[in-house]
Structure formats: C-alpha cells, structure tokens
C-alpha cells in the first residue's frame, strides 16, 4: 500500500517524504511518536502569545543555495540577526570571541594582539580554540588560555560533562575564535527565522497528495524489524518490501541489544515575565557561572519586539538514560560510541531499501541546513 514509510517528521523525515511524493508520485506514510510534526524544530505560541521553540532554540543559517531555495518554498523569512553574548562574571562579551571581544578584554594591548593574530592566521580567519592553544607564541597562548577558561571550559563541562579537550574537537570548533569585528554568531550567506515559525513549514511540506501522517504512533507498534529474518520488515503484520526511512535513535529500534548509544539530553525551564525585555540579546551564554548553559529570550527570535511581556528558556544539560519523557538531543561522538553505532548500523545495512537519516539515526551533529541538504540527496538516491 505504501511505497515508503518514513519514521519521524523532523526536517529529515519531512523533506524526504515530500520529495518522494512530489517528484516520484510515491504513496508515503509518515509516522511520529509525538502528537505534533516537526521533531525538535517544533514551535508554538505559548499561553501569552509568544512563539516559543519547545525543544530549544533553532536558528536557520546556510551557505547552501539549494537548501535556502527549497525551504523558501514553504516559508518567508524574518531577517533575524543572531548575536550572542557571554555573561562572564556579570560582564557581557560578544561570542564567538572576536576582535571586538579582544578589545573589551585587553584594552590598550588589543591593537598589538590583533596584529599578532592576523599576522599568524589572516584577517577573517576562524580559528578553533584548541588550535589556538597549541600555538607556540606566548601571547597567543595567553589569549587562548583566556578564551578557553572564560568561554569554553565551564560551558562545555555543563553541556557535555567533559572538558573541551576531552570531546570531539569538531564540537568546540563550531564556535571558533573569529578574526573580524562581525558580532553575529553565524557568518553564513543566508540566515533568519521562518516568519510564522518552523511548524507551518512542516505542515505545508507534509500536506501533499500521497502523504499520510500518523501522529502518536510509535514505529514499533506497526513495524517489526528483524534483519536476520527471510522477510526483515513486517508492517502491521504483513511483509513489507518498500522503502523505510528511519530518523529515530537506532539502538532503540533494536531494544538496545548491544547496549545504549550515549546521547546528551537537556531539560528546559520556561519562564514568563511581565516586562518588555528580560535580557540584552536573543541568547545569553553563561560561560563561567550557573547550572544552565544559556538563556534564550524568544521575542528576539520571532520578532515580537512590541509584545508587552516576554518568555525565556533556560537550558540545563543532562545525560540521557532512555527513561520515559527524556529526549536525546546530541550524539556524543568519540571512537567508542561511534564503534557501537557501527554495530547497530551493520544490522540495518543487511535490510534492503532501509535508510538512516538525521541526527539520531546517523549519530551525527547535523545543523538544519546540513540535514535538509542530506535529505534532498537521499531522496534523489531513492
Ligand atoms: N561552546 C562553549 N561556550 C560557548 C558556546 C559554545 O563552550 O559560549 C562550546 C560547547 O562545547 C558547545 C559547542 O561549543 O557544545 C557548540 O556550541 P553551539 O552553540 O554550536 O551548540 P548548539 O547550539 O548546537 O547546542
């Protein structure tokens, strides 16, 4: 009955479903365990009319033309300029650490240090903190030490339970030391927030001939997967040989038979205030104090700047144990965990027409644009 079954309706699942239905005329069933589409990009108006991101702040940015063009079919954009400051012992400093930050921290010494940085790395360079720390020049080491201790160390200890030196270098490399005066968090060509929120993008994408969406539906309640069986996939008890595009946590698909794949989770505390603004920027990172990593004030992101009141969210990182209600947000990539992931992947590699896609299923740190791009490619391959 269905050509493809897509498990999960976040960007990975929604883009693949739409592409298969629209370009190939396929009948596609989309399953989601939650009572809404959109995965962790789901947003909604709270009881005060502020557009909140229920699963933490998501800000779109990309250099990939086809991704911007594709998403622009489903939304107009609010031209949001995302600037982040770190609250460092009560003082607010631009993050990523850039030449403006350098000036605020080093005052009169800044011009000399700026020249040193630019002579070594070039104007506009994006230098990963761990690379800066390895530089032989003593003054560069001094800057690196300042940035490491005041921007990265405690934030990363909170976020990952490990120091920046103990985690995948690509993670701290997402927020480089930036040798420019651009205070934006991202330097991509396209950036912004969907004008009416993310959720309508998913609703429009999935509202297409041939696509059926089932919410509140655990995949395991309709699908039986057994890689060793002659017919590895049963759908509602019947053999199924169409495509499966799986975007959930792979270990849970196999009852964690090799052990749990470690993910990092978050707890969100939403607070509402009867005042116009709570903080100076859309996101303030707490890089040396507090148990939460950052506070997001949503009205900056949504452009509801005239609203008389405001809603914020504090993010408390925690480990993921798989308990009911906990949500896996980030893969914890290292050699051991990646090897465990490979064992699970080998199970599905044996199943014809079975595709893994997304942050959870591929055990990978994807941004929105990267997963949309990947989903377009996978749909083409299918
Ligand atoms: N990071 C940090 N201090 C900051 C911002 C980021 O230590 O003020 C580190 C931290 O390890 C974090 C990583 O850089 O997990 C990536 O940050 P990003 O803002 O990209 O995280 P995301 O928004 O994806 O959670």
pLDDT tens for each residue of 90-144: 999 999 999 999 999 999 999 999 999 999 999 999 999 999 999 999 999 999 9
Ligand 1 atom at minimum distance from 367 CA: 24
**Angle at the Cα of 378 (from 374 to 379), degrees rounded to 5?**
115
Is residue 155 lining ligand 1, measured as CB closer than 6 Å? yes
Per-residue pLDDT tens over the stretch 152-191: 999 999 999 999 999 999 999 999 999 999 999 999 999 9
Is residue 101 lining ligand 1, measured as CB closer than 6 Å? no
Is residue 285 lining ligand 1, measured as CB closer than 6 Å? yes
Is residue 302 lining ligand 1, measured as CB closer than 6 Å? no
Ligand 1 atom at minimum distance from 57 CA: 23
Q: What is the pTM of this model?
A: 0.97
53 conformational bin, left if phi > 0, alpha if psi -120 to 50, beta if neither:
beta
Q: In which band, very low, low, confident or very high, does the pLDDT at 295 lie, cut at 50, 70 and 90?
A: very high
Per-residue pLDDT tens over the stretch 98-111: 999 999 999 999 99
Per-residue pLDDT tens over the stretch 331-347: 999 999 999 999 999 99
Give me ligand 1 centre to Cα 173, in Å.
9
């Amino acid at each position: 009955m269905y050509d493809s079954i897509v498990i999960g309706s976040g960007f990975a699942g929604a883009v693949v479903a739409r592409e298969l239905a629209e370009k190939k005329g396929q009948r596609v069933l989309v399953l989601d365990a939650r009572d809404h589409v959109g995965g962790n990009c789901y947003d909604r108006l709270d009881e005060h009319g502020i557009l909140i991101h229920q699963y933490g702040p998501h800000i779109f940015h990309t250099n990939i033309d086809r991704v911007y063009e594709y998403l622009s079919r489903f939304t107009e954009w609010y031209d949001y300029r995302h600037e982040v400051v770190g609250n460092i012992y009560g003082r607010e400093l631009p993050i990523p650490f850039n030449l403006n930050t350098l000036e605020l921290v080093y005052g009169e010494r800044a011009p000399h240090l700026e020249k040193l940085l630019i002579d070594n790395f070039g104007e506009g360079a994006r230098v990963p903190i761990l690379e800066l720390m390895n530089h032989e020049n003593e003054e560069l080491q001094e800057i690196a030490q300042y940035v490491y201790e005041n921007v990265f160390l405690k934030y990363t200890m909170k976020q990952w339970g490990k120091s920046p030196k103990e985690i995948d270098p690509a993670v701290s490399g997402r927020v480089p030391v930036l040798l420019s005066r651009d205070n934006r968090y991202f330097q991509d060509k396209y950036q912004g927030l969907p004008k009416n929120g993310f959720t309508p993008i998913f609703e429009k994408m999935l509202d297409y001939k041939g696509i059926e969406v089932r919410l509140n539906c655990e995949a395991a309640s309709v699908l039986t997967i057994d890689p060793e069986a002659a017919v590895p996939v049963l759908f509602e008890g019947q053999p199924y040989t169409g495509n499966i595009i799986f975007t959930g946590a792979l270990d849970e698909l196999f009852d964690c038979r090799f052990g749990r794949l470690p993910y990092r989770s978050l707890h969100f505390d939403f607070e509402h205030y009867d005042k116009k603004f709570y903080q100076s920027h859309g996101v303030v990172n707490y890089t040396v104090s507090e148990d939460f990593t950052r506070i997001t004030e949503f009205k900056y992101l949504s452009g509801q700047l005239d609203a008389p009141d405001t809603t914020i969210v504090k993010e408390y990182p925690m480990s993921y144990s798989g308990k009911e209600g906990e949500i896996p947000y980030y893969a914890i990539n290292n050699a051991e965990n990646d090897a465990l992931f490979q064992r699970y992947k080998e199970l599905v590699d044996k199943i014809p027409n079975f595709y893994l896609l997304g942050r959870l299923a591929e055990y990978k740190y994807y941004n929105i644009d990267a997963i949309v791009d990947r989903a377009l490619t996978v749909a083409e391959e299918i």
